[in-house]
Amino acid sequence: MESAGKQVGVVFGTIGTTNFKIAITDPTVKRNDYVQARHEECGFVLGQVGEVQRETDLTIANAQRISTGEQVTVGEQFSGVVNIIGFRDENNVLQVPRTPFKAGDSVSVAEEKLIRGVLGLKTDIETGAYIGMLKGHPIRVYLDINNLVQKHVSILAKTGGGKSYMVGVFIEELLKRMVPVVVIDPHGEYSSLMHPNLNERDQKFMGRFGVRPRGYAEQIVEFSPDTTINTFSLPLKFDETNLDVKDILDLTGMKSSGPHVGIIQHAVKSLKEIAEDYSLHDLIQVIREDKNAAKWAIVNSLEYLEGTGLFGEAPTRPSDLVKEGKTAIVNLKGISPDIQELVVTRVLKKLFEGRKLGKIPALMVVIEEAHNFCPQVGQALCSGVLKTVASEGRKFGLGLCVVTQRPAKIDKNVLSQCNTQMILKVTNPNDLKAITQSIEGLVPGMDEDIQRLPIGVAIVSGGSLTSPIQVEIRVRETQHGGTSVDILQKKQAGAAPGAPSVLPAAPDMPGAPQGVEPAAEAAPATGAAAPKEVSPSTVFDNESPIVEEQETDLDYDDSEVETDESTESERKKKDRDPELEDG
């Protein structure tokens, strides 16, 4: 956009207190640009350009003459609608004028100070998370980290819309501010945060956004329930000693009423009378001796738990996962969905209890593929604890960041608890409907903007922001681990026929960037040249460090899909507890 203060239009026509029309004098003005106008009572007021129109005097007859090759002079003029955002009064409260502007008032490009002040954009680098630049303006966007942790975050995008890239940027900012983070990572994407971004395409954007390649290996520790698959992870184990009735009900998904509750209570009481400590195996043996036939459903469920391998003699404590300045990644790559649900249930419960008792520091929990762990239709094992964290976690300093490419499939009670939203491109009608119905602060027509977002641009709303804004997401400092795998590789110049192309690094080997030998990764650590600086005022309207990934055209009618998902969830539960319903 042009420099601040330059006139771009004049007020005309019917003028309201929420919007007004302008005759545009600068044809470079675009939809969503920020402008200012001086009000006789309020001083400068911030507005945002809505619809822009080009009006011409070309008639049908003249259009037909043009089609035959005849030269015709066409007169044209531009007009637009400016939606009023407001101004700050002497108490720094956002206000809107109570009387209309005057016809003939000048409208100009908004100054940065006015934009920041009215929109609530923070300039405090110490407590702000730098996520990118305000689209169309050379203004950095910082989000208040305290607000993010206290009031929860959602990151939403279609498949390939840049969701994982955005999450990586967010976690980088938390790492730099030494905020403890626990990441539930179903696909093993985020171990790449350990390694600097050596992608050549990304590096050409780094000067513009003011970032440099950097890895955070010294601040990241990775855990996994299966270290044979995720070989660089530490083992994630849970304590099986002295499980109480509530623990067992949570882990098995059994209801809190019915004959099975009495059986478990009796078994726990019996074990406490004869031993100071008891194991899951001890509990199974005592329940086997019960005379009630309902015991077999419980035995089956407990034997299933015992066979998962999640319980061990050296359990992972909440204090192992949560440490000042550290990020713990729970890598669930290759783990079956039912085991993933068990892991998330136990981890979230322990973190929530740890925060309530003040045994661990305040933290942010990031949950990827959140629709799988708290579905709108059906019930996952971890649905209950996730809803509890969403509704109560903020009181205890347990922040939640839910990440999904299917907003329609995540529980709306969880989504609506997220005060700050980062929404990238979404095109599925059901997902758009879920977003507009569950998220506060989105203005009418915003669903159309979400569909048309370029890759690499997000609508950010809530938190300290007074109005939704469009943000060009900054380039990542660390390597991106969520890239799609190409089935067919382009031939390299000069390669022999049939010779294999250079493949991208495997997901569990993030140190080998695409097209670079693993040994080359050490280059940045030994003083590699910084990427060429580019003026922050340079606006790349058609380029972004985020590349759109290929998607499938499979999910527009969700009604049958969600019903099938519910049925599948119930089937899995019955497989684990075949006699539970009879009991």
348 and 294 share one domain: no
Please give the share of the chain, as a percent, with pLDDT higher than 90: 56
Residue 495 included in any domain: no
- How many domains are contained in the chain? 3
Which residues make beta-bridge pairs with 86? 46
Domain boundary among 473, 496, 516: 473
Residue 576 included in any domain: no
270 and 335 share one domain: no
Domain boundary among 444, 473, 502: 473
HSE at residue 317, side-chain half, CA atoms within 13 A, is: 7
Q: Name which of 95, 75, 93 is nearest 84 in CA terms.
A: 95
Query: Tell me, what's the pLDDT at 291?
Result: 85
Domain boundary among 457, 473, 489: 473
535 pLDDT higher than 70: no
Residue 320 included in any domain: yes
pLDDT band with cut points at 50, 70 and 90 for residue 293? confident
CA torsion sign, 159 to 160 to 162 to 165? positive
pLDDT in tens, 242-267: 888 888 888 888 887 788 888 888 88
226 pLDDT higher than 70: yes
Residue 523 included in any domain: no
pLDDT in tens, 448-480: 889 999 989 999 998 888 889 999 999 999 999
112 and 138 share one domain: no
Q: Name which of 473, 446, 466 is nearest 545 in CA terms.
A: 473
52 and 80 share one domain: yes
Mean pLDDT of the chain: 83
Domain membership of residue 293 as a residue range: 245-305
Residue 409 three-state SS: helix
282 and 332 share one domain: no
77 pLDDT higher than 70: yes
Query: Tell me, what's the pLDDT at 545?
Result: 63
281 and 157 share one domain: no
Residue 579 included in any domain: no
pLDDT, average across residues 375-383: 90
Residue 581 included in any domain: no
Task: Spell out the alpha helix ranges (H) of 324-409.
Answer: 337-356, 370-373, 383-392
165 pLDDT higher than 90: yes
Residue 228 included in any domain: no
pLDDT band with cut points at 50, 70 and 90 for residue 491? low
Residue 520 included in any domain: no
Residue type at position 201 = R
134 and 113 share one domain: no
pLDDT band with cut points at 50, 70 and 90 for residue 154? very high
Query: Tell me, what's the pLDDT at 260?
Result: 85
Residue 372, domain CATH? 3.40.50.300
206 and 66 share one domain: no
HSE at residue 151, side-chain half, CA atoms within 13 A, is: 14
pLDDT in tens, 56-68: 999 999 999 999 9
pLDDT in tens, 392-444: 998 999 999 999 999 999 999 999 999 999 999 999 999 998 888 877 767 76
411 and 440 share one domain: yes
pLDDT band with cut points at 50, 70 and 90 for residue 14? very high
Candidate from 350-359, 435-444, 497-506 with smallest mean pLDDT:
497-506
29 and 115 share one domain: yes
111 and 138 share one domain: no
Which residues make beta-bridge pairs with 423? 156, 459
253 and 215 share one domain: no
Q: What is the distance between the alpha carbons of residues 2 and 5, in angstroms, rounded to a whole number?
A: 9
Instruction: Assign 3-class secondary structure to 510-525.
Output: CCCCCCCCHHHHHCHH
